[in-house]
Amino acid sequence: MKLILALSVLISFNTFGDERNDVATSFMKALQKELMMGMKKGPKAGLIHCNDKAMPVTNSFNNDKYEVGRVSLKLRNPSNKPSEELKRALLDYSSSSAKNKMDAKVILLSNKEEVFVKPLYMKGACLNCHGANLSAGVKNELKKRYPSDEAIGYKLGDFRGLVWVKKR
Ligand code: HEC
C-alpha cells in the first residue's frame, strides 16, 4: 500500500515537473487572461474577443520548441479538430468530470512521438458561452461567427476537452 502511494505521488510529481505541463499552464493562463479582459464588458464582448484572440494566442505558443493546441469532441472552431489518436484520448477522458478528475498524461503516438495532454473541465464562467442557457447576444454572435458550433449545452464540471503539448 505504502509503495503504491509513493509511486502514485512520484508519477503525479513527474507530470507536474514536466516542462510540457508548464507550457500547457502558461498557454491556458494566456487564454484565460484574454477571456477575462474580454468578459469585462460582458459575455457577448468576451465571445467577440475570444474569436479574435484564441488563435493568435495559440499560434504565439507554437515555436521551434513546442507545438500546442486544444481539442474537443464538440467543436466550436473547426481548426481544433482532433487527430484520430487525440480523439481516442478525448474518448478516454470523456467519462471524467471536475469531481472525478483524470490526471494529465503523456500519450505515445504510432509514429513514436509523445503528446502531453491535460483535461479541461467546465467552470461557472465557461457556461456563459458553452452552457445550456446562453444570452440572446451570445447566441447571435455564435450563429454569425461559428455557424457549425457544437460546443454548447455543457454543465458545471463537465469534461470539455484537452490542451495538448508536443515537443518538436
Ligand atoms: C466569452 C465566451 C467564452 C467563454 C466564457 C469561454 N469560452 Fe471557450 N471558446 C469561446 C470561443 C469563441 C471559442 C473558439 C475560439 C476560436 O475561434 O479559436 C472557444 C473555444 C474553446 C475551446 C477549444 C475547442 C473548440 O471547441 O474550438 C475550449 C477547449 C474551450 N473554449 C474551453 C473553455 C473553458 C474551459 C472555459 C472556461 C474556463 C471557456 N472555454 C470559456 C468562447 C468562450
Q: Which tens digits make up the pLDDT trace of 39-94?
A: 999 999 999 999 999 999 999 999 999 999 999 999 999 999 999 999 999 999 99
Tell the residue number behind the cell numbers 474518448, with chain if given.
Answer: 91
pLDDT at 152: 98
**Domain region containing 96:** 2-167
Q: Which atom of ligand 1 is nearest to the CA of 151?
A: 26
CB-neighbour burial class of residue 160 (10 A; exposed 0-12, middle 13-18, buried 19+): buried
Q: How confident is the model at residue 28 (pLDDT cuts 50, 70, 90)?
A: very high
The pocket around ligand 1, CB under 6 angstroms, is made up of 35, 38-39, 43, 46-47, 50-51, 54-55, 70, 72, 75-77, 80, 120, 122-123, 125-126, 128-130, 151, 160-161
pTM passes above 0.85: yes
Q: Is the per-residue pLDDT at 14 higher than 60?
A: no
Q: Which atom of ligand 1 is nearest to the CA of 120?
A: 35
Residue 105 DSSP SS3: strand
pLDDT at 16: 63
Q: Which helix (H) or strand (E) holds 141?
A: helix 136-145
What is the domain count for the chain?
A: 1
